[in-house]
Structure 1
Amino acid sequence: MNQSTQQQLLKGQVFRILLGIVWYWLASYGPITQAQTFDFTPGLQNAYTEVTKFKIPHARQLLAKEPSNNGIKIWLDDLADMITVYANESEGDYDNLYDKADERLDMLEDIDPKSPYNRLLRAEIKFHWALVQMKLGHETKAGMNVIGAYKLLEENKKLFPSFTPTNKILGVIHVLIGSVPENYRWITKILGLKGNIDQGVHELELASQDKIFGTEARFYKLFVQSYILPINDRVRNEVADYIQKNPESLSAVFLGVAIAEKDNKSEQAWRILQKIPTTQGYLVLPIFDLYTGDIYLQKGQYDKAEVYYSNYLKKFRGHSFIKDAHYKLFLCNWLGVEDNKAKGYLLQINNVGKKLSESDKAAQKFYETYAKTKSLPNKALIKARFATDGGYYKEALEYINDLSESVCTSTIEKAEYNFRKGKILQNLNDTDQAITLFERSVTLASNLDTHFGASSSLQLGYIFQKRKDNKKAIGWFEKAISYKKHEYKNSIDNKAQAALTELKE
């Protein structure tokens, strides 16, 4: 055997040894997988259905059976993580899982760039985590993620115009852009964000027809319509139909209860709460305890309300509605003539939770007003407020008919009296008297740090919009937006701008 042959044999042996080491390493540490496909398999469709029902534990079991090199699975793993963090508001979970989201975005970017799913799923991950970041108070990061999602989706729509799933999140973003008040539109223009409410709603309607993504798109459509636009009978019927067609969906129950409460229909909310699935495998949502407490508070059943608010505080480890729950526990005891216990809850408001949600901001403001003045509001006004919130208008009118502006002890209380009574009569279809009361509230609240002027202006806009007096409606909606600072500014401005957009088109 010559030297050349010996060298070739030696090289072959070395190669085989190295190959054996590689195979041993692979066997020891598991397979190296690289995402290569977007395949919405039947198993992944089932997992997606479970995720949209908030049946996250069961969805994870299904996802564990699917190949890890599928882009759809990567996206669904992230969606399950995001919903879990959104529900529990754990900063620790957010830090850990958001790092995973970045890794998943990188993996998805490497999959078939010619597929419409490439940009779609990356955009959805960015948007989903923006929702979490907004809830946790990371507004700047949330804004960057929304912009990133918007750009990916707009690009996807140009590349694949007939791919309807693009419209799902893009529709939501366009509605949000369209509800930005005019004095802030320069920001959206600088950022290159374009869109309006009608465009967004239309896109969501298109996405709602998709065979796979339709149920989720419909959830978003109903949610944004109910929280930004006035709720009408058509929307109410759509919500009822959605719940009926998704009988085992916890997300459908959540949607229905949230909208019914927003619509001042607590009896309807109560009926929907009875549809909460009782089988295992769903997310635990303490928010239902908060909603149930609200219903009992609105009915004046303070002992029962206190039980549910206390349950919420025991179960929930996040920060949302913690101040609000303490405020309402104060009310349950104060209105129920347990003054010492009530004061304990009132004083705790300043030391718990965060001021991110509007109801938490309102609770904090209530505490700060008390801390400055050592005075509490009129009990009849409080009772009238919560009865109105629940849709118990006749009971609310009985509470407030025992009062008059002359017995109110401060200008802000007088403004509240006129607003509360105007809202009751508006809902009892006595809009002529409601107009007079709302206008009086606007006058009284003109120089006060309160929402009553803005809230009254918004309702006046709705009244004149319904009467087809667009000129007056526009004037009142613009007036509602003009108030610089109050605890409900975001929601009132968004609603007023949505109405203005509709009127001016």
Structure 2
Amino acid sequence: MAKPHPFFLVLGLWLTSLLPLAAAPALTASHKAAYQELLKLRVGAARAMLRPAQQQDGNEAANLLLANYADFLELCVVQDQRHLEQLLEAQEARLDALEKLPRKEWRDYALAEVHMQVAMCKLLFGNRLSAAWGFRKAYLQYSDNASRYPDFIPNRKNLGTLQVLIGSVPDQYKWFLNIIGLKGSISQGMANLQRATSKANPFYQEAQLLQAVLLHMTAQDKEEQALQQITAMAARQQDNLLYQFVAMHLLKKSKRGEAALQVYLRRPGGKAYLPFPYLHHMAGDLYLFRGNYQQSVQENRLFLEQHQGKHYLKSAHFKLHLAYALGNHKPQAMWHLQQVAQVGFDEAEEDKYAARYAERQEPLVKPLMQARLHSDGGYYHKALQELAQQQLNAATPQAVQAEYYYRKARIYHGLDSLRQALPLYQQSIALCQGTNLYFAPNAALQLGYIYQQLDNPKQAALYFKKALGYKGHEYKNSIDAKAKLALSAM
């Protein structure tokens, strides 16, 4: 049910830019130590370590770049609007300083990275037009770097990441990318990234982390490989909050709710790390999946108390509504449902869904919701038990019937009972005719995946195209992106 945190979408972009710097001959011990702290999201310690390095001659590009990561990470993770202007001004000043340095591969690389980081901060805080031009500057700089320094591996990582991300943008946004001159290719981007995952590269583990993120996003059949890569890295560096976050996120997206929750419970903490309230919101979902409603309430309350941004506020109140409603606390459930319309932005799909749900004021069908939540966490047998409580008859609303068959199909699909899932998905699609319910497009997407597994590419392509044809549903962007990625990989 959750959309990735905005910080997660740029994880690879800033991560890969950090890694090669640790091996640069001109770096001081302070630089190397600061790099390790930044990678763990211990920004305060990193800033303290960078001060001695900034007083030494040379290293100007490294000084500016590493200092910029601290501001960038603070804005993306903490999302405190009060510090936005100050931190953005500092980043713009670093861009000016980099422009004045002599052209070298590290200077040009740092320039591209800071452009990217400034653009991401602006996008996160709603300045889309300025962000778009920042992305364009960064992309053009990366492309120029690739021509000037073809053997410079760090640039291959970042350019490849951008190519994959741009190549996976839904069709309705392609016109804008064409206007600002950005073109992506998933296959080309993954090829660039693959070059950096060789063990000949001393930073191949970090490259593999980035590869895991992108594989999970773009290749349905590589999910297990992606999960194995990231969970191994998180296990090896248990004091690295970044690795724990990525592992938790990918496990949650893969319906491994129990494993994701264990990562959350073992995560490092304390004042040394950046405050990361979004982790509480993720944990709120994981406890909902389990059916632990009191713990889910506690986690989302912590999120609302600590979060300084505007994203996921609607979603948090919606999840509180669900936890209270499923726990039979109706007054609290209604209060939080009313709050959905009063707070935050509705840009993320999770927030959009919460806003539409609150606006429709439809009655909660407990067996269906509980089945959905258990299924989202990978608790499939519990989900079937809940679904068995839902009785269908001639008076059952069309939307409830459509969701019933869709949920049952997803459960059997999760249990790898493909032949049982197929007719259930098809029945859900038939029941959605004349509506904009998202069950139909997602059922079509899942049927495409099933026919891929059954080695029937013709039927798979038919259903992926069918998924793209649905209009006006809550998950249009993500479903279209997944269908398009599947088609491009065939």
Structure-1-length-normalised TM-score: 0.86
Letter in 1 for 2:275: V
> Do the aligned partners of residues 100 and 411 (structure 1) sit closer, same or farther apart at CA in structure 2, a change above 3 Å counting?
same
Aligned partner of 1:229 in structure 2 is 219
> What is aligned with 2:471?
484
Kept in 1, the 8 Å contact 2:436–2:471? The answer is no
Which of 143-152 and 75-84 deviates more? 143-152
Corresponding residue for residue 238 of structure 2: 247
Find out whether 1:84 has 2:74 as its counterpart.
yes
Matches for 1:345-494 after TM superposition, within 5 Å = 345-370=336-361, 375-406=362-393, 409-494=396-481
Q: Is contact 1:157-1:166 (8 Å) kept?
A: yes
Residues 134 and 490 of structure 1: is their aligned pair in 2 closer, same or farther, counting only changes over 3 Å? farther
The CA distance in 1 between the partners of 2:263 and 2:50, in whole Å, is 30
Is residue 127 of structure 2 the alignment partner of residue 138 of structure 1? yes
Cα distance in 1 between the residues matched to 2:168 and 2:253:
18
What is the letter of the counterpart of residue 333 of structure 2? Answer: A
**1 CA distance for matches of 2:110 and 2:433?**
48
Residue 145 of structure 2 corresponds to 156
- Residues 41/482 of structure 1: CA separation in 2 closer, same or farther (3 Å cut): farther
Whichever of the two has the greater Rg, that structure is 1
Is residue 2:309 matched to residue 1:314? no
Q: Per-residue displacement from partner, 1:148-194 (whole Å, max 9, x unpaired)? A: 11111011001000000002221111111221345654554444333
Q: Contact (CA 8 Å) 1:52, 1:216: kept in 2 or not?
A: no
Aligned AA for 1:454? P
Separation in 2 of the partners of 1:277 and 1:251?
10
Whole-angstrom distance in 1 between the partners of 2:130 and 2:470: 27
> Partner amino acid for 1:391?
G
| Number of the residue aligned with 1:498 | 485
**Partner AA of 2:160 in structure 1:** G
Following superposition, the deviation at residue 357 of structure 1 comes to 1.3
Q: 1:267 aligns with which of 246, 249, 258?
A: 258
Aligned residue identity for 2:94: R
CA distance in 1, matches of 2:367, 2:249: 26
How far does residue 408 in structure 1 lie from its aligned partner after superposition?
7.0
Stretches of structure 1 lacking an aligned partner (at least 5 in a row): 1-36
Say if 2:212 and 2:225, in contact at 8 Å, map to a contact too. Answer: no
Does the residue aligned with 1:355 lie in a helix, a strand or coil? coil
User: In structure 2, the residue corresponding to 1:486 is in which secondary structure?
Assistant: coil
Q: Partner of 1:120 in structure 2?
A: 109
In structure 1, what is the equivalent of residue 160 of structure 2? 171
Where relative contact order (Cα < 8 A, 6+ residues apart) is larger, the structure is 2
Q: CA RMSD in A?
A: 2.1
Q: Is the 8 A contact 2:78 2:274 kept in 1?
A: no
Alpha-carbon displacement from aligned partner over 1:225-284 (angstroms, at most 9, x marks no partner): 223432522112111222133222100000010111101111111221233124541111
Q: For 2:418 and 2:476, locate their aligned partners in 1 and report how far apart those are by CA, in whole Å.
A: 24
Q: CA, structure 1 residues 129+465, in 2 after alignment: closer, same or farther (shift >3 Å)?
A: farther
- Residues 274 and 408 of structure 1: CA distance in aligned 2, closer, same or farther (over 3 Å): farther
Q: For residues 111 and 76 of structure 1, what CA distance do their matches in structure 2 show?
A: 16
Alpha carbons 1:324, 1:360 under 8 Å: kept = yes
CA spacing shift, 1:281–1:314, aligned 2, 3 Å: same
What's the CA shift for 1:420? 1.0
For structure 2, the 5+ residue unaligned runs are 1-23
Counterpart residue number, 1:193? 182
Query: Structure 1 residue 103 and structure 2 residue 93: aligned?
Result: yes
Aligned to 1:333: 324
